[in-house]
Amino acid sequence: MGGWLSAKTPVTLHSSASKSLTAVDEPYALQQALAAAAHIMNDDVDLAETELRKGTSPFHKLGIATTFFLRATLGFEKEVIEAASQRLAEAEESALEHQRRALRDPGTAHRSSIYPVGAEYALCHAETQLMSAVVAVLNESLTESLRGFYKLRKAFGTLWEISEAERLYLEKRGLNKGSAAGSKVSLAGSTVAASESSGVQTPRSRRDSDSGDEDEDLEFVDADEGVDDLPTPTAAYQGHLDDLKLNGLSMSDSDTKQQTQPPSSGIPSKPAASSALDDLDFNTVTSDPIDLFIHSGTALCFGLLQLLLSMVPPTFAKLLSLFSFRGNRANGMRLLWSATRFKTNINGAMASLITLGFHNGAIAFCDILSSDALPEERLRVLLKEMRTLYPKSKLWLLEEARVLSRDHELEKAIAITEGGEPSPLKQVEALRVFERSLNFMYLHRYEDCAKSFLHCIELNNWSHALYYYIAASCYVELYRLAKAAGDAKEAKRCEDEAERLFKIHPAHIGKKRFMARQLPFDTFVARKLEKITARAATLNCSYIDAIGISPLEEMIYFWSGYKRMPASQLQISLDRLAFSTAQPTWSQEQKDEKAIHSLLQATAYRFLGRVPEAIETLKAGALAQPMAALRSCPFPDTWTVPVGHYEMAVCLWEAAGGETGDREGLRKCGEELAKCEKSEGYDLDARVGLKVTTARETLRGCGVPG
């Protein structure tokens, strides 16, 4: 680590755990904590935790909480989630206590010419609230999840106040190239003051008597809560941050007319990525390490907050509307790109990981995108820089593997995830094995795929039902291939193994919950197993012979596998789908099974460039069946209707020529997308929800209303 992050020896602080840091101690405490936290991004969480435990400052406690948070979010294990909640609560309390004391005795606190007194602790408090909100949502209790959303709202208020202070500072010095969107928060159609959104305090202007001609600063003061004598600050913030307007969570000065900003119509794009390069470099504004920490941390948190809110699937929109949340993906990405400038501190490193993960793992597998939606060169440069800075981390190797799979280089992606020593962090190792398992699935390497997913069970206990289901589905394919080849012994082996795995995992269904609800894949798998059992009884055949359309090809679709496959693997998928149509009973097959077949077949056709065939296949298959007819089937698959409309929208997008193509074709694309958007909830709708949301934003950017 370079510069002010490279603490060589521990610094003895003047303050104890019970006293607030002084203005002298604070930079050293931050320096130590950031140097220790840097080990997190190099997969050495144990060393990071050991170093962080040497200090008692809010920065150290935030770092420790971050290590537990990463373990919790990467592994989804209940005991780790509970431990993370405890550490986050400790960090939150420490940050709040230090901010209170900084406000009560500002003469001993760090004085910034940019931010309010105690803003660094307010940021730490906001970061713990954001992480606590995520952990609460991972909790199996709906009550805890709702508390998490409330913390999210409070954190937003904090981030806004800090950002507003920065905006005013830059504006007064003529450094703000454009005005940020303002000081009242327009959330989900209702306009609330920023102080109300934080629920704690409001900013006030005052002349800094110690700074001579310095401009007025913003200082945090507490709202009338009638609790105790100490201010109870929870900061809040929007602002310049490299001239990055936050229109999605719209703010305007209190003396301006209230207005509700519409949702952003943009998607992450090359301009969004490159704008960070064109804007003001904050290192030219200040060299104060605490100010740089506040700036980069706020860009990270506010950017991530807006990004997450913009990605919420339609099914969760009503819940979030209760908390008046609305995000803006384009602005969130601009903030995150801005934070990536500070790669050598934990804020910049986390922003880099989020930026790479979002593009490589989410946006890259959407279908209706503008031509500049993926800033390829910028992403590759960022990944190279992060691998150089943190060479031991498997997180960056995972991102490189995702880039390769996005480029249809599946064998190379597997080679990267198979080579080298395993990560010392179990949760990262589980991600590595899971990513490799998916690539085996896309390559139709059935035995390898089954073994790899079964290995996931040893590393992670989040969704064993899914792992067993995919492994069993692999043996279904092996059974069908062996049977077609006349290898009775191999067919029997694979049939027995498939049935064994299918019948193991009902015991694992429902073990994990999300916001007190069964996991979507668990719900999907439970219905599928009931369907197979019912079909076996109706058809008077063996359990495995009762299975209809390839369950593995369904999984490939829901994990966006067709987009990663080279043409040779797409053809294999078509061959595996043809197994069902070759059966003598195909003409009597249930309508929902035929709809699944046509949808998967059409998707493979589309990725092979056979768009006209894909359109005709959808019209004659998935979209030819009314929903009522599908619902009449035993344990029906009804997801093919809304997803079929989405697939048709993608076909029309490609047939029209994309964003600069035929306007009438784009209009029809928007109409098909609207049919999907208006559909009721369906199996695994969250897997398609981001694609639908991104498609709508892209169309709006092309001038297609919806």
Lowest average pLDDT, out of 65-79, 263-277, 493-507, 531-545, goes to 263-277
Burial class (CB in 10 A: 0-12, 13-18, 19+), 355: buried
In this predicted structure, the answer to whether residue 244 has a pLDDT above a threshold of 90 is no
**Whole-number pLDDT of residue 224:** 36
For residues 195-224, give the mean pLDDT. 37
The rounded mean pLDDT for the chain is: 81
Q: Is the pLDDT of residue 178 over 90?
A: no
Range from 78-87, 207-216, 681-690 carrying the lowest mean pLDDT: 207-216
Quote the crossing angle between the two packed helices 376-389 and 346-361, to the nearest 10°.
140
- Rounded Cα gap, residues 130 and 103, in angstroms: 23
**Domains in the chain, CATH or no CATH each:** 78-310+318-392 (no CATH), 566-706 (1.25.40)
Measured CA to CA, the distance from residue 13 to residue 27 in angstroms comes to 10
The CA-atom distances, in angstroms, between 518 and each of 142, 237, 508, 521 are 12, 36, 11, 8
pLDDT at 239: 32
- The average pLDDT across 12-41 equals 76
Beta strand 184-187 with 190-193 is antiparallel
Q: What are the tens digits of pLDDT across the range 337-353?
A: 999 999 989 999 999 99
- Please report which residue ranges of 270-393 form alpha helices under DSSP H: 270-278, 289-310, 314-321, 329-339, 346-361, 376-389
Q: Do 354 and 304 contact (CB within 8 A), yes or no?
A: yes
Tell me if 142 sits within 8 A of 188, measured CB to CB: no
With bands split at pLDDT 50, 70 and 90, how would you rate the model's confidence at 276?
Answer: very low
Q: What is the mean pLDDT of residues 423-441?
A: 92
Percent of the chain with pLDDT over 70: 78
- Answer whether residue 322 shows pLDDT above 80: no
Task: Compute the distance between CA of residue 417 and CA of residue 305 in angstroms, rounded to an integer.
Answer: 30
pLDDT tens sequence across 130-164: 999 888 877 656 677 678 878 888 898 899 899 99
> Kind and range of the H or E element at 700?
helix 685-701
Residue 5 is predicted with a pLDDT of: 28
* pLDDT at residue number 482: 98
pLDDT of residue 140: 56
pLDDT at 351: 95
The DSSP annotation for 409-469 comes to -HHHHHHHHHSSPPPSSHHHHHHHHHHHHHHHHHTT-HHHHHHHHHHHHHH--S-HHHHHH
What's the angle, vertex CA 33, arms to CA 27 and CA 39, rounded to 5? 140
| Lowest mean pLDDT, pick from 43-52, 302-311, 509-518, 572-581 | 509-518
- Residue 617 Cα to chain centre, angstroms: 33
- What average pLDDT does range 287-299 have in this prediction? 95
Q: How many CB atoms lie within 10 A of CB 235?
A: 35
Three-state DSSP state, 51:
helix
Q: What is the pLDDT of residue 254?
A: 33
Q: Which of 305-314, 375-384, 518-527 has the lowest mean pLDDT?
A: 305-314
pLDDT value at residue 201: 38
Q: How far is CA 131 from CA 296, 357, 392, in A?
A: 17, 18, 25
For residue 505, what pLDDT band results from cuts at 50, 70 and 90? Answer: low
The H-or-E segment that residue 393 falls in is: none
Structure tokens at 494: 């694979």
Supply the pTM of this predicted model: 0.81
* DSSP symbols for 627-650: HHHHHTSSS---THHHHHHHHHHH
Q: Is the confidence at residue 326, as pLDDT, over 60? A: yes
Rounded CA separation 395/402 (Å): 11
The whole-number pLDDT of residue 521 equals: 85
Task: Tell me what percent of the chain is helix, strand and coil, each rounded to the nearest 5.
Answer: 65, 5, 30
Instruction: From 331, 168, 201, select the one nearest 261 (Cα to Cα).
Output: 331
- CA-CA distance, 439 to 417, in Å (whole number)? 10
